[in-house]
Amino acid sequence: MTDAVKLEAPFYAATSDEIDVFAAAWRQQLAVMLKGPTGCGKTRLVEHMAARLDVPLMTVSCHEDMTASDLLGRFVLTGGDTEWVDGPLTQAVRLGGICYLDEVVEARQDAVVAVHSLTDHRRTMTLERLGGETIQAAPGFMLVVSYNPGYQSVLKDLKVSTRQRMVGLDLTYPPADTERLIVSRESGLDDRRLDDLIRLGQALRRGKDAGLREVASTRTLIAAARLMQEGLGFRRAATAAIAAPLTDDEALTAQLITVIDAYDSSSEHS
C-alpha cells in the first residue's frame, strides 16, 4: 500500500501561473486536474507543491484493474488476525495530505466515482466496509488527478460530472530557455552539448506529425543528458534515450537518427 511521504521541494521551473493557481486551489480546498503530454512535469509539479505546502503526498499510478478498494482500503490478514489497512486516499483524508491519481483515465469508473464526495462542499468519505464510517477530510487535504489528453478516447476519459468538480491546469513542454535550465539542473551537462540537445528536442517537436505518437519530452532529454554525462556520445545517448522510446519502426528510427546527427555539433557519432 502507498505510504504517506514528505518531500524536500524538488526543482520545478514554472512556465505560466500554475504554481499560483495550484496554491490558490489548495487554500480554497478545491481539487485540481492536470492535463498535459507525457514527461512535461505534471508529477514534478505535484511533488514540488506538496513540499512547498508542507503536506504529505500519496501518489497512485492508476491502471485498468484498480478498484475503489485500492484507494479506500481493505481488510488484510496479519498474524492470524484480520485488520483494516487504509488505502492512499483514506490516508490523505485522515492526515490532511495530497492524494495524487496519476493517469486517472486509466482507472475504472467505480474507483473514480469514489472521490466525488471529497471534491464538493462535503469533503467527506464513507467507508462501507467499516460499517459506513464517515470521515471528514482534515485541513490540508487535496485531490489531484492527471492525464495525457493525447490519449483520450470515448472509453478513456473523465466523466463531465467528475471534471466539473475540479480546477483544470493545462501544462505543456517548456520554452527552450526554461527547458535548458531544467535539463542543466537535472544533469549538469556542459553548455555545448546541452545547447545541441535542446535544439534537437525543439526540432523533434516541430516535426510531431512525422508518424510519431509522441514527441521528445523534457524527461527524455534529461535521460539523454545523463547518459552523456556517463561518457556516451551524443548520437548514442540520444538514440537510446529519445529515438528508442519514441518508436519501434526501423524506418522512423533511421529518420530520427538522421535528425540527431544534424544537431550534433561535435560530429562524433559514437
> What's the pLDDT score for residue 256?
94
* More confident site: 71 or 79: 71
Q: Which three cell numbers stand for residue 176?
A: 527552450
Query: Is the Cβ–Cβ distance between 116 and 125 less than 8 Å?
Result: no
Q: Which three cell numbers stand for residue 10?
A: 524538488
> What's the pLDDT score for residue 244?
95
> What's the pLDDT score for residue 154?
45
Considering only CA atoms, which of 123, 117, 152, 150 is closest in space to residue 136?
A: 123
Same domain for 226 and 165? no
Query: Is the Cβ–Cβ distance between 18 and 169 less than 8 Å?
Result: yes
Same domain for 79 and 118? yes
Q: Which three cell numbers stand for residue 61?
A: 499510478
> What's the pLDDT score for residue 1?
39
Q: Per-residue pLDDT for 167 more than 50? A: yes
Q: What percent of the chain has pLDDT above 70?
A: 92
Q: β-strand 73-78 against 142-147: which pairing, if any? A: unpaired
- Beta strands of the chain (E only): which ranges? 31-35, 57-61, 73-78, 81-86, 98-102, 124-127, 133-136, 142-147, 166-170
Read off the pLDDT of each residue in 11-40 and give the average, rounded to a whole number. 94
Neighbour tally for 46: CB within 10 Å: 24
Same domain for 34 and 88? yes
Q: Choose the final residue of a domain: 147, 170, 193.
A: 170
Q: Which three cell numbers stand for residue 16?
A: 505560466
Q: Choose the final residue of a domain: 170, 204, 228.
A: 170
Same domain for 58 and 96? yes
Domain that holds residue 163: 18-170
Read off the pLDDT of each residue in 155-172 and give the average, rounded to a whole number. 86
> What's the pLDDT score for residue 99?
97
Q: Per-residue pLDDT for 108 more than 90? A: no
Considering only CA atoms, which of 163, 144, 147 is closest in space to residue 32?
A: 144
> What's the pLDDT score for residue 270?
47
Q: Per-residue pLDDT for 155 more than 60? A: no
Q: β-strand 81-86 against 73-78: which pairing, if any? A: antiparallel
**Does 142 fall in a domain?**
yes
Read off the pLDDT of each residue in 203-215 and give the average, rounded to a whole number. 80
Q: Which three cell numbers stand for residue 51?
A: 513540499
Mean pLDDT over all residues of the chain?
90
**Does 189 fall in a domain?**
yes
pLDDT digits (tens, 9 = 90+) for 236-246: 999 999 999 99
> Which residues, in sequence order, are bridge partners of residue 86?
73
Same domain for 147 and 188? no
Read off the pLDDT of each residue in 48-64 and give the average, rounded to a whole number. 95
